[in-house]
Structures are given as structure tokens and as C-alpha cells.
Structure 1
Amino acid sequence: MRTESLAFISMAVAVLAFNALGATLGQKIGNRPMTAAGLVVMAAGFGVLAIVSPADGFVVPATALVLIGAGSGLAMPAATGALMGEVPAEQAGVGSALNDTIQQAGAALGVAVLGSVLAAGYPDGMPESASDQARRSIADALVHH
């Protein structure tokens, strides 16, 4: 395991830690404000991630991932609660299935779009000294590094 991947542990722990808090606060202040607050925290995490440089080491990306995880933990239970709160009790199974389908489709579409954008911009981000193999593929760049 590469040490860079350890930063994702901080995000997973934050999601778990803030999930219960998001559910509890959603009941107290309302699901919609809690969802909005979680999304703001996530946006702050993405903002920090956008300014990361190689010299920052582990702390800055880990902080960004903690913010993203915390925001997700705050927003997701409240968003699910808001959705399920609008579904009649006799349709709860359909509402839950729809929620799961939307989450899965959104994640798959997000990965596909982001992957396409990054793949399209990858060759332009390579230094002039990079080999042709490395310019064609990230995997080739890592193998020939």
C-alpha cells in the first residue's frame, strides 16, 4: 500500500464520525439546512484540495479529505431523511430504492465524467521531457518511471 492512500483513511473516519452527528442535527435543525451545511463543509474541503501542492506533504490533503468526509457525513443522513420524510409510509420501499439508485447512478456518472475530463487533460499536463509512452497513459508513466 502506498502511503498516499493512507490519507483516505482520514476521510472514512470523518464520514463515520460525522454521520451520527448529521442525523442527530438534522432532526433538531431540519434536514434541508443540515444538508446545505454538509455541502458547504464538503465545498471547503474541495477548496483546500484545489490548492494542494507537492510541497504540502500529508497534512493538507488529509485535512481536505477530512472536511470532505465530515461534510458527507453531515449531509447524507439529512438528505436521505428529507427524501424519506416526503415519501408516504406505504411507499417507503420504493423511496429507499429510488434513493439508492440515484446515489449509485450519480457516483458512476461522476466517476465517468471526472475520468474523461482528467484523461483528456492528462497529456497536456505532462512535462516536455516525458516519454511518448508516459504521455499516452498514466499506467505507462508509472511503469517507466
Structure 2
Amino acid sequence: MARGMPFIGTRKKLAVAAAAAGLVLAFSGQAQAADYEKSTADGCASVVGAYDYQRVGTAGGYPLYNTSWDFKIWDNCSDGRGAGLFTTYQKWESGEWKYHSLTKLGSDTNGFNNTPGYAKDGRGYNVRDVGLYVCFIEAGGYANWNSCRGLL
């Protein structure tokens, strides 16, 4: 477990479905909220925080959700790699569902210095099949997909 990160218990369980190379949150019910803590396999990148979603309708035969999140992101090692919180999702845009691949929500690239990065007060609208991942950051701010771990 990374320094300074207490275990966060789930307030409400989310249905989880395996998808592609990670775990994707499969939404159910009207409003759901959960706290998360997750690290990369070596513990050098970690996140802790909350994720909420609310069903707001239907589009193209699928439920529509609005989401919000508030996470701290820790780069726990002085190894030259940063830590990031990334998402994948489908968004209802211009009358169709469009897939969005790994998108950075926030990062900490300062190394082992006790100062986190944040993905704070974020919002997503008209989405489904949202996945959240903690990953190492490569040059240019991109996620190293092989390092990513899905948040449960």
C-alpha cells in the first residue's frame, strides 16, 4: 500500500464487467457512489478518491449517465515515471455513441515528494461504459497501457 493512503471501503457496490484490457464500470440504478484505492503492480503509481454517477436518460438504446470524480494521484517512486488517472468511455455525441480511448483526468509527475496530483471536481456528461485506470505516464503525457490497472 502506498504511503499515506488508508484503505477506502466501498459505500455502494458497483456491477463490474470485464472489457477489453481492463475493467469497466457497468452502471446500474439511478445514483451510485463509491470510494476507490488502487496502485500499479509495483506500487509506484496510485490513486485514492471517489467516483459517482447518475442515470439521466437513454440514447441509442443505451442508458445515459452523468459522472463526477475527485481523486488524489500519487507518484510514489523517484524513477522518472509519473502517475496518472485515466478513463475510457463512450459518449453520446451528434446522435451516435463515440468511443474515447485512454484520456488523462489528472497526474502527479513529481516523484516521491509527498505532494499529490489531483483529478478534482471532474464531470462527464452523457456517457456509458466508463473505465477508470491508474497508469504510469510516458513522455508526452500518454499512459503506458501495459502498466494500467482498473479501479474496482
Q: TM-score range by the shorter chain?
A: under 0.3
Name the structure with the higher helix share.
1
TM-score when normalising by structure 2: 0.23
TM-score when normalising by structure 1: 0.24
Name the structure with the higher strand share.
2
